[in-house]
Amino acid sequence: MFNRSEFIPDSEWNRFKEFSKDLETPNVVVNVHQVKRNFIKLRDSFPFARIYYAIKANPGEPILRMLADMGSNFDIASRYELDKIMALGVEPERLSYGNTIKKARDVKYFYEKGVRMFATDSKDDLKNIAEYAPGSKVYVRMLIDNTTSADWPLSRKFGCHPDMAYDLLVLARDLGLTPYGVSFHVGSQQRDIGVWNDAIAKATYLFSSLEEEEDIKLQMINMGGGFPAHYIQPTNELKDYASEITRYLHDDFGDDIPEIILEPGRSLVGDCGILTSEIVLISRKNNTALQRWVYQDAGKFNGLIETLDESIKYPIITDKDEAGAKEGEVILAGPTCDSADIMYENIKYRLPLSLKAGDKLYWLSTGAYTSTYASVEFNGFPPIKTYFME
């Protein structure tokens, strides 16, 4: 059992219970006002940075609208995200095409819509940008290896070695583009703040070597996401991330720090969602088995994909969590006919013994990478529904 008040204050919990009491399960309820508070907190912690919300974390329209009103910029990964955000009236100057894997015709599409900032990490992609988005600003994503301390690593697939980043930025200039800066992503839910230090050092090396050897003056570092939400494993507070990272920047750049971009996803929306599921069946595999299998109507295919390899460990609350309630080990599984649809088996969650079919489980901190990070109709189950609480 988890101490709910460590994750959510009573007043917010009561408001959530009232809001969600008649909603069919499974569902995710997102507190948009809390996203706004997180945005303000991040903005105030990094007053020198520009924020580009990584839409994929939660593309809910009320969230996008609120962030657009708050003056946020947006990191876009596909033409579909582009269409969605522009339909809300966000100007192309506030957008960056941050996906390094893109079709030439999508580069053209973004350019025609007015987007002038592109990420890249390869020669062929850079050539496409030069051809279909002439004159645009490009930044090169560096490979960051040190991601074992991130709960959901994003490396390996993206970025290139700093030596290659160097060559690409020179080529960008030679192709008539603006070599604007470098980017990295230290891995999502990064619990080791020191990883930013290594990444910033690599960026600093590129800034100085390109200026000395090629007379290219880079202007921007895009530090990606990686800031934490609150799950079971403790993390430092955002203010600690901010003070350390700010110090790394000043150590390397003195008073003359470059333009800084942040691309938060998880840290803005993660804590702001609660996924409610209903227990379908509780069973044991033999008469003396100590562990109960708890099957419920949310699983890997409809919202809980980040439990893959038991990576993200959500706190789970029930209505039977009174002090002193007897509890026992459970294996938590989803409703589909796929044996991969098991969320936690190695990590020993303990839930009250009095739970039965029809009872609800509340998965806290499920505002990021749940509602759309899911299958469409596997076994006929529809995508999980999201509700927004203002």
Ligand X SMILES: *Cc1c(COP(=O)(O)O)cnc(C)c1O
The site for ligand X (CB under 6 A) is made up of 54, 56-57, 75, 98, 154, 185, 188, 224-227, 263-267
Alpha-carbon distance of 110 to 116, in angstroms, equals: 8
User: Could you tell me if 268 and 254 are in contact, meaning their C-beta atoms sit under 8 angstroms apart?
Assistant: no
Residue nearest to ligand X (CB): 225
CB nearer ligand X, residue 73 or residue 318 = 73
CB nearer ligand X, residue 66 or residue 342 = 66
111-115 contacts: CB < 8 A, separation 24 or more? Answer: 111/136, 113/82, 113/86, 115/76, 115/82
User: Could you tell me if 3 and 10 are in contact, meaning their C-beta atoms sit under 8 angstroms apart?
Assistant: no
CB nearer ligand X, residue 34 or residue 296 = 34
User: In whole angstroms, how close is the CB of 73 to ligand X at the nearest point?
Assistant: 12
CB nearer ligand X, residue 25 or residue 120 = 120
User: In whole angstroms, how close is the CB of 264 to ligand X at the nearest point?
Assistant: 5
CB nearer ligand X, residue 227 or residue 301 = 227
Alpha-carbon distance of 184 to 150, in angstroms, equals: 14
φ/ψ of 71, rounded to 5, equals: 90, 10
Nearest to 110 by CA among 129, 125, 88: 129
* The amino acid at 219: Q
Query: Based on the number of CB atoms within 10 Å of its own CB, is 106 exposed (0-12), middle (13-18) or buried (19 or more)?
Result: middle
Query: Based on the number of CB atoms within 10 Å of its own CB, is 253 exposed (0-12), middle (13-18) or buried (19 or more)?
Result: middle
217 three-state secondary structure = coil
Strands (E), 284-341: 292-296, 316-318, 327-333
User: In whole angstroms, how close is the CB of 99 to ligand X at the nearest point?
Assistant: 7
At residue 92's C-alpha, the angle toward residues 90 and 93, to 5°, is 105
Nearest to 120 by CA among 82, 79, 171: 171
DSSP 25: S
User: In whole angstroms, how close is the CB of 376 to ligand X at the nearest point?
Assistant: 21
CB nearer ligand X, residue 269 or residue 275 = 269
CB nearer ligand X, residue 184 or residue 362 = 184
Residues ≥6 apart with Cβ < 8 Å to 49: 223, 260, 261, 262
User: In whole angstroms, how close is the CB of 164 to ligand X at the nearest point?
Assistant: 18
User: In whole angstroms, how close is the CB of 76 to ligand X at the nearest point?
Assistant: 10
CB nearer ligand X, residue 258 or residue 270 = 270
User: In whole angstroms, how close is the CB of 174 to ligand X at the nearest point?
Assistant: 25
Q: How many CB atoms lie within 10 A of CB 236?
A: 14
CB nearer ligand X, residue 224 or residue 352 = 224
User: In whole angstroms, how close is the CB of 212 to ligand X at the nearest point?
Assistant: 29
Alpha-carbon distance of 345 to 284, in angstroms, equals: 14
User: In whole angstroms, how close is the CB of 140 to ligand X at the nearest point?
Assistant: 13
